[in-house]
Each structure stands twice: as structure tokens, then as C-alpha cells.
Structure 1
């Protein structure tokens, strides 16, 4: 259960009440505890405000307070049993709780998760996120608990009928999970041809890396870079080059470009690019350069175990 979690707790509501006018901004700033406080205060005087209840559930969800989120979403479901999104959010919070407890306790939750997602899909024939959740849930559940590749493919087909890109990605996911990489590759390539988003390219890149095909991974990242021109893709090329000891010159150039063009919007800190440069220089048997770059990485992020381990290895060269 991964895809639906990216969308589960991001609010889509605009409040008219002055007391809640800042809540959406707090979410955007990732100030989830403050959002919780603002909405909780509002609910003291407006305990039945459905929009506020949903916002509070979202705030709890972002903070991984699963029991609290479940409680709020249960209120939503009870208030309107025909609202597909309420069932979807309720099922998502239950699913996250199931992942955070022991397997024995999770067994008592999974049935409710499945029921909630199925209800969301039944109520809204166009609910993409609920169908994604069912694709993942049926693939990840063992057969004894109702897991089923055929059911996953059923909802993947429904996704394809709603959105070809989502359908192709879902089928790619099913076949990748089922250890059928050639079919997964086929559908991820179809998703790229249909939509061409970074998500589509990243799915195929990850597949190639998991299948120990780094040359194909780099080729795919380069295709993504040609289309999207994102600095982050320079890091990805350098990462693959460093991890697999291939195309070291290209990897080094890409990492240096990433560092030069780095901005706060780039998700990967520069320290990781320095770490990858250290790895590349280890492959090149260039101890001084490797030591220089690993020291830069540690100076920026001193508590990363892999950085310290890499420095120990370099010192032994």
C-alpha cells in the first residue's frame, strides 16, 4: 500500500470560516501539529463541522497518529455512508495502522481495510485512488487472507478504463510484484509513451535497478532528462554510476552538475552527491579525491552511518 498514501492526507478543501482560513497554508508548510491545534480549537465550538473533522483527520494522518485519524474518519463515514472519499480515507488510515502493529494485530484490521476500499470503489466508479489501493492491497495480501493477482488485475483494468497511464502503471506494478519483469517493463514503457511523467520514468528506472540492469537504468534516466530537464535526474545518473561502477566519467560529471545547479527544491541534499562522488573515486582508486568528497558529505550531514562506513573503507585503501 504505497500509491494511495501519497494522496490520502492532502486536503482538497477550502474553508470559508475565518477561524480555519489559515489551515490550508499550514498544510502546505507541513506544519501539521499547528494545523491540528487550529482545527481542534475550532471544533470545540463547532463539533459537527464535517469539513473541520476531515481536516483534523488529515492533520493526524500526516503525524502518523493513526488511531486519532481513524476516529475522525469514522465520524465522517457515520455522517455520510455514501461518500466514497470518506470510506477511502478511513480505509487508508486503518491500512497504515495495520502496517505499524504486529502481524497478529494486523490480521484483525485487514478485513475492515478491504471493506472500506471496496465500498469507496463501489460508491464512486471513477475513484482512481481507491482502485489503486485495491490493486496494491490484493497483491500484498497472502492468499489465505484474500490476496489475489487476478483481483489486482481486475482493478488495474478498471484504472486503465479511467486513465490509461494509471492502468499501465498499475499493471506494471502487479507484474513487477509478481516477479514478471518483462511484462512490468512493457507496461511501464506504455505508461511513458502515454503520459511521460517523471513518475512513469522513475517506475521503469527502479525496475531496471531492481533487476540489476544499470545500463538500461541510466539510458532511461537520460530519456527522462531530455524530456523534463530536472536537476534531480543528474543525481540519479550519478547514483547509478556510483553504485554499479559503470560509466564513471558520466556519473561524475552529472554529480558535479547537480551540485553546481543545486537549489532548495532539489530533494536530495548535496551531501549525498558528495558521497556518490566519493564512491566513484573509490572505484577509480583515487584515495585523495574520495577522502575529500566523503569529508564534505560528513561535514554537511555528520550522522549518516553509510557516510562514516564509507570513510572507514577509504582510509583502508
Structure 2
């Protein structure tokens, strides 16, 4: 459930009250503790402001303080029972708590998670995020406590009626989870044809990687790059090449392009590109080149254990 439950933290309310000026900026800067304090102070004099309560729940959620977030979202549900998004956020916080505790303890929460999501879906027939959560919930729960592939597909169908792309991605997820890669591939390709977003391409790439089909993964990333022109895709190609020891020349060329065009927006630190280059040169038995790149990776991120382990492997060539 982790992928889509985290979506419940994304919406940020716009406040007109001067006491909460700058709260959205704190969220955007990921200064969630400061946001928590500011909203808490505001609630001391405005204890029934639902927007502030929601924002406080969001601040706690971003800090993974699930019990505190649950308490705030529960207040929202009790104050406004017919607001779908409140039930969704309450269920999301409960679900994240369930993921953070033992499976035995989580059993006592799952019923409430399901109830909250089902209520949100009932209240809002167009609530896409809730239906995504239900697709994942029913797919991941064991059958003995209510898991059901057919129910996952039911909500995937509802998603498709609201958004074809979401519906196709949801069905791809269900079939991938159920170890039916051919059907998963079919629906991910349909999602690409319908929407063609980076997310659609990434889902198909990940499927190919999980099925140990690196050549197909690289071909799919290259197709995505032609459409979206993202430098991050150079890294993706290099990563697949390095991990699976395929198309090493192309992988090296793409990683160097990634480094040459790098910006913070690309997401993956340069150290990881150097790490992948070290892997590629190790595959090629180029010990000195491999050492050069792994040293660059270690200098930038000295605490990454896998970098040090890779250096040991290179030294043993």
C-alpha cells in the first residue's frame, strides 16, 4: 500500500488567516516540524478550524508521526462525516501505521483502514486516490483477512471509468503483483499509449527489470527519452546496463551524458552515476577505470555501504 497511501499527504490547503501566512512555504521547503508548531499555535486560539486541523495532520504525517496524524484526521471525520477526503486521509494514516508495526498488531487496524477507504469511495464516486488505495489494499491483504484480487480489479475498473490511464496502470499493478507479467505488460503499454507520462514508462521499465529483461527495459527507457527528453533517463539506462551486464558501451555513454548534463532536478546524485560507471568498468575488467569512478562516488557520499563493498570487489579483480 505504501506507494499510493503517501498520496494522502500531498494536498495543502490555502489559508487566508494572517496567523498562518507562510505555512504553505514551510511545506514546500519540507520544514514540517516548523509547520507543525505554527499550526499548533494557531489551533490554541482556533481549536475548531478544520483546515488547520487537517494541516496539522499533514505535518505529523510527513514526519511519520502516525498516531498524532490519526488523532487529527479522526477529529475531521467526526466533525464532518460526509467529507470523503477526510475519511481517505484517516484511512491513509491508519494504513501507514499498519505498515510500520508488526503484522500481528496491524491486524487490529486493517478493518478500520478498509472501512475508511470504503466510506471515502462511497461519498465521492470520483475520488481517484481512494480507489487506488483500495486496489492496493485488497491486493496485498491475505485472503483470510479480506484480500481479494477480484475486488482489486473491481476498483481498477472504477478507476478506468474515471481515468483510463489510472485504470490501465491499476490493472497492470494487479497483474504484476499476481505474477502475470504478460497481462501486466499489456496494460502498462495501454497506459503508455493513452497517457504516455514518465510514470507510465517507469512502470513498464520496472516490470521488465523485475522480470530480468534488461534489453526490453533499456529499449523502453530510450523510447521514453525520445518523448520526454529527461536527463534522468540517461542514468536509468546506465543503471540497467551496469546491473545486468548488458549494452555496456551504451550504458557508459548514457552515464557520462548524465554527469555532463547533471542538475539537482535529476534526482539521483552524481555519486551513483560514478558507482554505475565503476560497475561497468568492472564488467569490462578495467580495474583502474573502475577504481577511479568508485573513488569519485565514495568522495561524494562516503557513508554509502554499497560503494565501499564495490571498491573491495574491484580490488579483488
TM-score of the two chains, using structure 2 as the length reference? 0.99
| Count, aligned residues | 317
Contact 2:4/2:133 (<8 A) preserved: yes
CA distance in 1, matches of 2:12, 2:153: 29
- The equivalent residue for 2:197 is 197
- The equivalent residue for 1:294 is 294
- The equivalent residue for 1:34 is 34
- The equivalent residue for 2:159 is 159
Unaligned residue ranges in structure 1 (runs of 5+): none
- The equivalent residue for 1:125 is 125
Unaligned residue ranges in structure 2 (runs of 5+): none
1:5-20 maps to which residues of 2 (within 5 A)? 5-20=5-20
Cα offset, 1:3, TM superposition: 3.5
CA distance in 2, matches of 1:30, 1:75: 24
Contact 1:11/1:55 (<8 A) preserved: no
1:67-216 maps to which residues of 2 (within 5 A)? 67-216=67-216
CA distance in 2, matches of 1:45, 1:311: 58
Contact 2:2/2:96 (<8 A) preserved: no
1:211-230 maps to which residues of 2 (within 5 A)? 211-230=211-230
Q: Which digits, 9 at most, give the CA deviation of each residue in 1:216-274, with x for residues without a partner?
A: 00000001100000000000000000000010000000000000111111110000000
Superposed CA RMSD in Å reads 0.6
Contact 2:6/2:92 (<8 A) preserved: no
4+ residue runs over 2 A deviation: 2-6
1:277-316 maps to which residues of 2 (within 5 A)? 277-316=277-316
Cα offset, 1:19, TM superposition: 1.1
CA distance in 2, matches of 1:49, 1:299: 49
CA distance in 2, matches of 1:71, 1:140: 25
1:251 and 2:251 aligned: yes
Contact 2:77/2:86 (<8 A) preserved: yes
- The equivalent residue for 2:60 is 60
Cα offset, 1:180, TM superposition: 0.2
CA distance in 2, matches of 1:224, 1:6: 26
SS in structure 2 at match of 1:131: helix
Cα offset, 1:5, TM superposition: 2.6
- The equivalent residue for 1:264 is 264
Cα offset, 1:142, TM superposition: 0.1
Contact 1:20/1:38 (<8 A) preserved: yes
